[in-house]
Amino acid sequence: MTGSLLSRLILRRSSQQPNRFIFQRGISQSAAERTKDTLPAEPPVLPAFDHAPSPYSGPSGNDIIAKRREYLSPSIFHAYKSPLNVVEGKRQYLFDENGRRYLDAFGGIATVCCGHCHPDVVAAIVEQTKKLQHSTVLYLNHAVTDFAEALASKLPGNLKVAFFTNSGTEANELAMLIARLYTGCNDIISIRNSYHGNASGTMGATAQSIWKFNVVQTGVHHAVNPDPYRGIFGSDGEKYARDVQDIINFGTFGNVAAFMSESIQGVGGIVELAPGYLSAAYESVKKAGGLCIADEVQAGFARTGSHFWGFEAHGVQPDIVTMAKGIGNGIPLGAVVTTPEIAKALTHRNYFNTFGGNPVCTAAGLAVLKVIEKEKLQENAFVVGSHLKERLNALKDKYEIIGDVRGKGFMLGVELVTDRELKTPAKEETLHVMEQLKDLGVLVGKGGYYGNVFRITPPLCFSKEDADFLVDAMDYTLSRI
Ligand SMILES: Cc1ncc(COP(=O)(O)O)c(C=O)c1O
């Protein structure tokens, strides 16, 4: 974008093509109306932080890009026009090859929960690695049982049997398998706009074409998305849930294996499910003999602030909970937790995972749980996340381009639209603002089917000053669009 930065996309109906819209650049009413006093004159300054990164003498970003092109899969993509070479991390900050500090408001995609390289987590990993790095579950070791016991204490009801995996995809694949074996049914229902992974079963459960390949994906039905912003029934969760019953009635033989859902859709653009939806959907599924799977890969581990697990805010009790990302603060770890009775479904054949329950990963997992508790990170996610959301909402009142602010705790989304009424995705502007934010020193994620939603999922130690800096940086950038 150039001199026309002080313009924005507006929509007008073409007389030649009555059913199509074309975009035209024009002066934004709200931008023109904005008074000088409300526009931030100076770029905001990063909050102070007492850490000097080690001098870096490794390959430059350009060298790495060249090697990536030669030796890594061409399917791997990167953020930003000039990608960031991240060489060190501490708490909620990342450092690039030149020692420049960035506020990390994406947390490695909602994964770094305790903060980068948290000393307790690092110590647990190092200590365990020195003693025993790997053995497989064929032999006994206390790291895996210690963690399983601690994890069970964080879950409600009889959810106390864990099976460890290496990723969220693996956890969801396993959950789908267990549900099918336990119920003897094949049909699974997931929600449109969801993301559950990218292996064959989970790609079927994922319901966004941009994350699917043209391969056989059978046995999953996709229910209408209970999206309060873009959905057809607004915030009426029970109306959306009728589609789950309809799928059971008209798309299956009357019984299903499972219903699988995130409690806040992450990759889909931080979409909160309409209130009342999950409980009504669970009721239909349970009546049809199905199990309810809560995918807590992003919303779990205190991220939403009000609860430790995202599903708890919906007042539901799942039969299976899947988790990854925040569980290990970045170490490859995932888990499926279910009841002892349901877990038995997997005993009819051998099921084995070489690295699942690895002592180093589970030692890290235990350290993560302790840090979340010791540093009251859930409370912090609630308090600072609420403040951040409030300030983002104030920004929404100031800039028309912000169509929606949503989410809970440290799982927040800001959707940009070029027309509030038509909710036209402002994809180009989102990319532009994201670049500008990076130049100001703050990293946010991007998501949603149209790529027009900022995903704000920082480490849970993010402070009020960080939140203010992020919003000031967004304010500064938007004031110049
Ligand atoms: C909700 C959800 N489930 C599952 C997955 C898959 O996890 P992984 O990338 O660890 O396989 C993701 C990844 O983003 C996710 O957001």
Asked if pLDDT for residue 242 goes beyond 80, the answer is yes
Reported residue count of the chain is 481
167 close to ligand 1 (CB < 6 Angstrom): yes
Given pLDDT bands bounded at 50, 70 and 90, which one contains residue 15? very low
Nearest to 333 by CA among 308, 369, 304: 369
Residue nearest (by alpha carbon) to ligand 1 atom 1: 297
- pTM, two decimal places: 0.93
Segment 31-54 shows an average pLDDT of 80
Please name the residue that has the structure tokens 């690295």: 355
Q: Are 169 and 199 in contact (CB under 8 A)?
A: yes
Non-local CB neighbours of 199 within 8 Å, separated by 6+ positions: 169, 170, 173
Q: Where are the alpha helices (DSSP H) in 23-80?
A: 29-33, 61-71
Higher per-residue pLDDT: 19 or 440 = 440
315 Rama sector, left if φ>0, alpha if ψ -120 to 50, beta otherwise: left
Segment 125-135 shows an average pLDDT of 97
Model confidence over 213-227: pLDDT tens digits?
999 999 999 999 999
- Please tell me the predicted confidence (pLDDT) of residue 173: 98
Segment 140-162 shows an average pLDDT of 98
Asked if pLDDT for residue 140 goes beyond 60, the answer is yes
Given pLDDT bands bounded at 50, 70 and 90, which one contains residue 37? low
326 close to ligand 1 (CB < 6 Angstrom): no
44 close to ligand 1 (CB < 6 Angstrom): no
Measured in Å, residue 321 CA sits from the centre of ligand 1 at: 13
Mutation to probe ligand 1, out of 111, 169, 353 (largest number of atoms < 8 A from CB) = 169
309 close to ligand 1 (CB < 6 Angstrom): no
| Token reading at 172 | 């969801």
Averaged pLDDT score across all residues of the chain: 93
Please name the residue that has the structure tokens 């381009």: 401
Closest ligand 1 atom number to CA of residue 197: 6
Closest ligand 1 atom number to CA of residue 172: 4
Model confidence over 393-415: pLDDT tens digits?
999 999 999 999 999 999 999 99
Measured in Å, residue 27 CA sits from the centre of ligand 1 at: 40
The phi and psi torsions of 318 (rounded to 5 degrees) equal -70, 165
Distances (CA, A) of 69 to 79, 82, 85: 15, 14, 15
Measured in Å, residue 28 CA sits from the centre of ligand 1 at: 38
Measured in Å, residue 266 CA sits from the centre of ligand 1 at: 9
Non-local CB neighbours of 295 within 8 Å, separated by 6+ positions: 168, 172, 194, 196, 260, 261, 262, 263, 322
208 close to ligand 1 (CB < 6 Angstrom): no
Asked if pLDDT for residue 107 goes beyond 70, the answer is yes
Given pLDDT bands bounded at 50, 70 and 90, which one contains residue 41? confident
Task: List beta partners, residue 447.
Answer: 453
- Please tell me the predicted confidence (pLDDT) of residue 25: 32
Asked if pLDDT for residue 345 goes beyond 90, the answer is yes
Measured in Å, residue 298 CA sits from the centre of ligand 1 at: 7
Segment 125-148 shows an average pLDDT of 96
Measured in Å, residue 98 CA sits from the centre of ligand 1 at: 31
173 close to ligand 1 (CB < 6 Angstrom): no
Given pLDDT bands bounded at 50, 70 and 90, which one contains residue 27? very low
First to last CA, the chain: 9
The rounded distance, in Å, linking the Cα atoms of 154 and 335 is 13
Segment 151-171 shows an average pLDDT of 98
Measured in Å, residue 477 CA sits from the centre of ligand 1 at: 30
CATH 3.90.1150.10 region(s) of the chain? Answer: 35-104+378-478
The rounded distance, in Å, linking the Cα atoms of 365 and 82 is 34
Helix or strand run (H / E) with residue 262 = strand 258-262
**C-alpha 106 chain-centroid distance:** 9
Measured in Å, residue 468 CA sits from the centre of ligand 1 at: 29
CATH architecture for residues 119-374: 3-Layer(aba) Sandwich (3.40)
The rounded distance, in Å, linking the Cα atoms of 364 and 329 is 8
Given pLDDT bands bounded at 50, 70 and 90, which one contains residue 323? very high
Say which DSSP state 55 is in. Answer: P
Higher per-residue pLDDT: 358 or 34 = 358
111 close to ligand 1 (CB < 6 Angstrom): no
Given pLDDT bands bounded at 50, 70 and 90, which one contains residue 16? very low
CATH 3.40.640.10 region(s) of the chain? Answer: 119-374
Asked if pLDDT for residue 12 goes beyond 60, the answer is no
The phi and psi torsions of 159 (rounded to 5 degrees) equal -80, 90
Asked if pLDDT for residue 417 goes beyond 90, the answer is yes
- The DSSP code sequence of 164-232 is EESSHHHHHHHHHHHHHHHHS---EEEETT----SSHHHHHH---GGG--SS---SEEEEPP--TTTST
Asked if pLDDT for residue 104 goes beyond 60, the answer is yes
Closest ligand 1 atom number to CA of residue 296: 1
Measured in Å, residue 222 CA sits from the centre of ligand 1 at: 18
| Token reading at 69 | 């092109």
- Please tell me the predicted confidence (pLDDT) of residue 33: 54
- Please tell me the predicted confidence (pLDDT) of residue 137: 87
Closest ligand 1 atom number to CA of residue 325: 10
266 close to ligand 1 (CB < 6 Angstrom): yes
Asked if pLDDT for residue 24 goes beyond 60, the answer is no
Asked if pLDDT for residue 20 goes beyond 80, the answer is no
169 close to ligand 1 (CB < 6 Angstrom): yes
Residue nearest (by alpha carbon) to ligand 1 atom 9: 168
What superfamily in CATH does domain 35-104+378-478 come from?
Aspartate Aminotransferase, domain 1 (3.90.1150.10)
Segment 5-20 shows an average pLDDT of 31
301 Rama sector, left if φ>0, alpha if ψ -120 to 50, beta otherwise: left
- Please tell me the predicted confidence (pLDDT) of residue 70: 97
324 close to ligand 1 (CB < 6 Angstrom): yes
Mutation to probe ligand 1, out of 113, 176, 195 (largest number of atoms < 8 A from CB) = 195
